[in-house]
C-alpha cells in the first residue's frame, strides 16, 4: 500500500464518521496512531487510571531520539486544567507537546529533514 493509498483510507474512515457528528476522539486517536506508525514512530497509548499522572497525554510518540506527547481532542473538545498543567510541565522541561484534532496536526512530525 502506498502512502497516498494509506492517507486516502484514513480520510475515508474519518469522512464516514464526519457525515454524522464528526469523528470521535478514539477514531482520531487511531488515525493518528496508524499515521505515525506508518512513518516509523513507536507509539504508546496511555490509559488514565488510579495513580496515573494527572493530565497525562493520550499518546507518546518516539522516533530517532525524539519524544512527543500528544493529546487528542475532537473539534469541539477542550483540555482539562490537569491537561493544561501537564502540557506546561512538559514544555517547561523542553519537551514537545501537541494538541491534535486530526492527523494533519501531527504531519509535521513526519516531514523529511534535510
Res 13: pLDDT: 64
- Cell matching residue 63: 522516533
pLDDT of residue 114: 56
pLDDT of residue 16: 56
Residue 44 contacts residue 60 (beta carbons within 8 Å): yes
CA dist 53 and 45 (Å) reads: 14
- pLDDT (tens digit per residue) in 63-86: 999 999 999 999 999 999 999 999
CA distances from 51 to 48, 55, 56, 58, 64 (A): 8, 12, 11, 16, 30
Task: Identify the architecture of domain 3-110 in CATH.
Answer: 3-Layer(aba) Sandwich (3.40)
Distance between start and end Cα atoms, the chain: 25
Domain boundary assignment for the chain: 3-110
pLDDT in tens, 1-17: 676 777 677 666 665 55
Q: Are 97 and 87 in contact (CB under 8 A)?
A: yes
Amino acid at each position: 500500500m502506498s502512502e497516498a493509498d494509506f492517507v486516502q483510507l484514513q480520510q475515508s474512515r474519518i469522512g464516514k464518521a464526519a457525515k454524522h457528528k464528526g469523528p470521535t476522539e478514539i477514531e482520531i486517536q487511531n488515525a493518528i496512531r496508524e499515521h505515525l506508525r506508518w512513518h516509523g514512530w513507536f507509539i504508546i497509548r496511555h490509559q488514565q487510571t488510579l495513580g496515573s499522572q494527572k493530565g497525562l497525554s493520550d499518546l507518546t510518540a518516539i522516533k530517532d531520539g525524539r519524544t512527543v506527547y500528544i493529546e487528542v481532542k475532537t473539534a469541539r473538545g477542550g483540555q482539562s486544567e490537569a491537561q493544561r498543567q501537564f502540557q506546561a510541565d512538559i514544555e517547561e522541561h523542553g519537551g514537545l507537546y501537541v494538541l491534535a484534532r486530526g492527523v494533519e496536526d501531527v504531519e509535521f512530525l513526519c516531514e523529511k529533514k534535510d
